[in-house]
Structure formats: C-alpha cells, structure tokens
Amino acid sequence: MEEAILKLILLGPPGSGKGTQAKLLTEKYGIPQISTGDILREAVKQRTELGLKAKKFMNQGELVPDDVVVGIIRERLEKEDCQRGFLLDGFPRTTEQARALDEILNKLEDSQITGTINLEVDEEELLKRLSGRRICRECGEGYHVIFDPPTNSDNCNECGGELYQREDDQEDTIKARLAVYAEQNAPLVKYYQEKKILHRVDGKGSIQQIFERIIAAIKGSSKDD
Ligand code: AP5
C-alpha cells in the first residue's frame, strides 16, 4: 500500500515543545522540518536584509510581518524535498498566514494540509521551559538546564559547542510572546477545526509520551473534530 504524504503543522505556544517534537517527527516520517523561527534566527545571525528586518520584531516578542514569513514559506515549499511531505513548526501564526498557505499549496500541487497538531501546555510550565532553555551555538542542539541538562553545563554533548540562551528567552520578552500567542491562536485553532484537521494534544509529560500522543493523533485515533 502506498504511504500517505504527510503535510503537517505543529501549533502551540512558545515553549510548548514544537521544536523538540518536530525533530523526532521528521526522523520518524522522513519529512523536512520547516521552522520559520529557525530560518529567521539564521538570517539574523548572517545579518541578511531579512535578518535586519526581522530582528527588532523578534527581540520584542512580536510577530514578523505576514508578507515576510509567507514569502519565506513560499520559497521553501517550492523545494524538491517538500514534495513528499513536510512539517511546519511555528507557521502559520495568524489566520492570514493560514489562508496564504492554503493558496500556496493549491497553486503548487493542488493539495492541502493533512493534519494540524495543537500542543497544549499551561503558562507556568511554559515559563519554566523557556527560561531554562539553552541551545548549542554550533549545531543548534537544544537543552534545558533542569529537564534536559547537558553533561557539562556550558557545552553541547554532541559537538562540544558553546551553549547560549536565546535573546527572546528573557522574562519580559517571554511574556510579550505569550501575550501575542494568546491573541492569535484562538482564531487559528478555529480555522483548522472548521476544516476538521485539528488534533488537540496534551503537551505535558515526558518528551517520549508527548511524541506517542502526536503519532496517535496523526494516525487519526484521537482526532478532535
Ligand atoms: P519560534 O522560534 O517559532 O519560537 P516559539 O513559537 O516562541 O517557540 P519556541 O521555539 O520558543 O518553543 P518550542 O515550542 O519550539 O519549544 P522547544 O521544543 O524549544 O519564533 C521565534 C520568533 O520568530 C517569534 O516570536 C516571531 O518573532 C518570529 N516568528 C517565527 N515564526 C513566525 C511566523 N510564522 N510569523 C511571524 N513571526 C514569526 O522547548 C522549549 C524548552 O522546553 C526546551 O529547553 C526543551 O528542552 C524543553 N522541553 C521540550 N519538551 C519538554 C517536555 N516535554 N518536558 C520538559 N521540557 C521540555
């Protein structure tokens, strides 16, 4: 039997584990992870025109304008490796972005998103996760000072690179990001609920438990429609 092509979206507040789960899911399903946050951070690091434009929004915890991120996604989805599916992490963030995504997919290959996972985590837990997050400057591997600490507190287990804290993981910026999320997410959830492709997943528990819940949701066993 031919395997279904998975075109997935991971929704969830900052710190809900989208990046962590995306890595596991892309390994399992062999599809690329497309993270607008990662693409924007790389542009900031390289000081490209896009990076310079995005930086001030990101450092204030605000969303980068829709036309900028939609352009990034359009270009990325045209690449060969997306033809057998993909996993969007952190996009869409607004209903305008969701509508633009539908148009892009229609034009590209007359296809649509197959499933949207909404990771649900309470604010107290999100604050703990974000304030303790550390990332390797060299390979991008993620850690948490309490929940997933590296063997040596300053260096990556994988490559020995220096670990750093994201600029937007400072307390004030975290609060601004959570407020933006609270405003934008309800209409987005409704958008996918109406399309009957939304799966609500409890994002609290071990990384493995959550991974298994997501897989069950993708298989359709816990579809919330
Ligand atoms: P983005 O990079 O997308 O950030 P985010 O949505 O705020 O999400 P995070 O990356 O902070 O968290 P995550 O859910 O991936 O959690 P993680 O797995 O790392 O966006 C950053 C900025 O870019 C935005 O604010 C905006 O400015 C801009 N942007 C991006 N996309 C945009 C768009 N579409 N439109 C406009 N602007 C856009 O986990 C967090 C921590 O928790 C880690 O330390 C991890 O180890 C730990 N952890 C994970 N799972 C568990 C668990 N089960 N138990 C305990 N700890 C855990």
CA–CA separation, 168 vs 196, rounded Å? 33
N-term to C-term CA, the chain: 26
Per-residue pLDDT tens, the chain, 225 aa: give them.
456 789 999 999 999 999 999 999 999 999 999 999 999 999 999 999 999 999 999 999 999 999 999 999 999 999 999 998 999 999 999 999 999 999 999 998 778 999 999 999 999 999 999 999 999 999 999 999 999 999 998 899 999 999 999 999 999 999 999 999 999 999 999 999 999 999 999 999 999 999 999 999 998 743 444
Atom of ligand 1 nearest to the CA of 73: 34
Domain assignment of residue 1, yes or no: no
99 assigned to active site:
no
Identify whether the C-beta of residue 90 lies closer than 8 Å to the C-beta of residue 36.
Answer: yes
Which residue in this structure is represented by tokens 């004030």?
A: 172
The backbone torsions φ and ψ at residue 186, rounded to the nearest 5 degrees and listed phi first, read -55, -50
| Catalytic residue (choose from 18, 41, 55, 200) | 18
Total structural domains in the chain? 1
Asked whether 18 lines ligand 1 (CB < 6 A), one says yes
Asked whether 91 lines ligand 1 (CB < 6 A), one says yes
Asked whether 147 lines ligand 1 (CB < 6 A), one says yes
Write the residue with the smallest CA distance to atom 23 of ligand 1: 37
CA of 69 to the centre of ligand 1 (A): 16
137 assigned to active site:
no
| Catalytic residue (choose from 74, 166, 195, 223) | 166
CA of 117 to the centre of ligand 1 (A): 14
Identify whether the C-beta of residue 13 lies closer than 8 Å to the C-beta of residue 181.
Answer: yes
Residue range(s) defining the domain that contains residue 203: 6-31+84-122+174-224
Domain assignment of residue 128, yes or no: no
pLDDT at 153: 85
Domain assignment of residue 43, yes or no: no
* CATH classification at residue 191: 3.40.50.300
Residues facing 117 on adjacent strands: 10, 199
User: CA angle, corner 222, sides to 216 and 223, nearest 5?
Assistant: 115
Asked whether 39 lines ligand 1 (CB < 6 A), one says no
Atom of ligand 1 nearest to the CA of 177: 25
Domain assignment of residue 59, yes or no: no
**Strands 133-136 and 115-120, sheet pairing:** unpaired
The CA-based dihedral angle spanning residues 199, 205, 207, 212, taken in that order and rounded to the nearest 10 degrees = -50
Domain assignment of residue 178, yes or no: yes
177 assigned to active site:
yes
Q: Helices marked H in the chain — which ranges?
A: 18-29, 36-46, 49-59, 66-77, 95-109, 123-131, 171-194, 207-218
Atom of ligand 1 nearest to the CA of 35: 3
pLDDT at 4: 79
Max CA separation in the chain (angstroms): 51
Domain assignment of residue 163, yes or no: no
CA of 211 to the centre of ligand 1 (A): 16
CA–CA separation, 55 vs 71, rounded Å? 17
CA–CA separation, 45 vs 114, rounded Å? 33
Domain assignment of residue 152, yes or no: no
Domain assignment of residue 98, yes or no: yes
Return the amino acid letter for 169.
D
Asked whether 37 lines ligand 1 (CB < 6 A), one says yes
pLDDT at 1: 47
